[in-house]
Amino acid sequence: METSLDVVILASGEEGEFVSQRPKVLHEILGLPLLEYVLRAASELFPTRLILAVGRETPEIHSFLTRSDFEVLIIGAEGEAHGFGPIEGAVAAPRFLVLPGHLPLLSSEALKRLLWEHIAQKALLSFLTFYPEDPGSYLSVVRDESGIPKAIVTEGSGGGAQEAAAAVLCLDNVPEVWEALKRLPTECTPGALIAELVSALHPRVHAVPWPEPEELLTVHTRRDLARAGELLRERTIRRLQETGVTVVDPHTAYVGPDASVGLDTVLHPGVHLYGKTEIGEGCEIGPQAYLVDSVVERGARIWFSVLEGAWVGEGARIGPYAHLRPGARIGARARIGNFVEVKNAQIGEDVRAGHLAYIGDAEVGPEANIGAGAITCNYDGVRKHRTVIGKRAFIGSNTALVAPVTIGEGAVVGAGSVITEDVPPHSLALGRARQVVKPEWARRKKEGEG
């Protein structure tokens, strides 16, 4: 069976109903735009071409596609809701799918079923159907005496299960299909699109019932967006639980589709795992932890903290209220504590930075201690500079290390110092003003004022 196809994704129209200045398809669920979910489902059918139909091209759409892994042809047609005139020249495969760009729960399995049945039935048009709980709020399918769909109506039957139509279509790339598409009015909604095509192409029309109606939830409003997010989140949490992850409160755990979590890890309330975050086995994440594109190795603990593009070694402890920014690499068993920020820095094994420190553009050797209030002064207003702290070095509280600077192995920097020159290994460095004490000064000043 020859199954090659193109995919057309409709990303225009209906923005007013959603109430947004941004394209609706770029609004996110669990860290990914709606359009990303549709592209992923479609790509699993290995289409020869992905075509994005937009009413007007926007910088936001181009920016998203530049960052994505998909090669997509954008077709814009100002004033045409779906721009099928320009699309005709772009479709080259024997058939093509037409999908709304705001259908984030749609699975590739549903699309494969649609494609296979479309080919087997030799139809010009095939579309997915489902049985909703409230038939009156959907487009209803009317079949002829032979069971072939002949019309799509907006009214439910008023009783019993009513078959509803989803705007998920498979069409043959033939002249009669394009003639029907070109007759569609401008600003045609997906519902009107399928209704017109069923009427025009009958009887070579086939309906494919799909048993998972939730997958066909279309995001029309912000309320729909929240509902789709809830369903996607529940799906992900269920998968994690089935693979040995404890989710203490499923209602407050948010895990993106690309995140992975290892066996016997515990996700506490308020956890957010987005992007390509990877959590190892036996970790504790949360309460209140926000991780994006970060890796956490086996047995580590992250709580009340934010990680962005960070790597945390085995058995490390992060938080509460730590911030690991891109390029932070925390060694095994290290401790990054209260209100410590790490950026583009490699922290060695068993390092202690317990509280109130900034470590940026630095390399910290194993077993070093970073005191409270210590900072690496990495930016001179023009360029970033690097700080190197040797193995078992001790950096006293409220110390400023002015980069570029190196603190040798085993060296000690006294509290309150400003260090501007390299410190040799096993040395003591002091860079502060000498303390001066004037006896009775305060008493005399008070008496003089009297």
Active site residues: 355
Q: Which of 404, 406, 396, 403 is nearest to 430 (CA)?
A: 396
Q: Which of 314, 353, 348 is nearest to 329 (CA)?
A: 348
Identify the three-state secondary structure at position 327: coil
Two tokens at 141? 């399918």
Q: Say how far apart CA 17 and CA 220 lie, in whole Å.
A: 7
Identify the three-state secondary structure at position 34: helix
Length of the chain: 450
440 Cβ contact list (under 8 Å, min separation 6): none
- Spell out a b/e string for 321-349, using b for 16 or more CB atoms within 10 Å of the CB, else e: bbbbbebbbbbbbbbbbbebbbbbbbbbb
Q: Say how far apart CA 2 and CA 425 lie, in whole Å.
A: 71
φ and ψ of 428, to 5 deg: -105, 130
Q: Say how far apart CA 273 and CA 296 lie, in whole Å.
A: 11
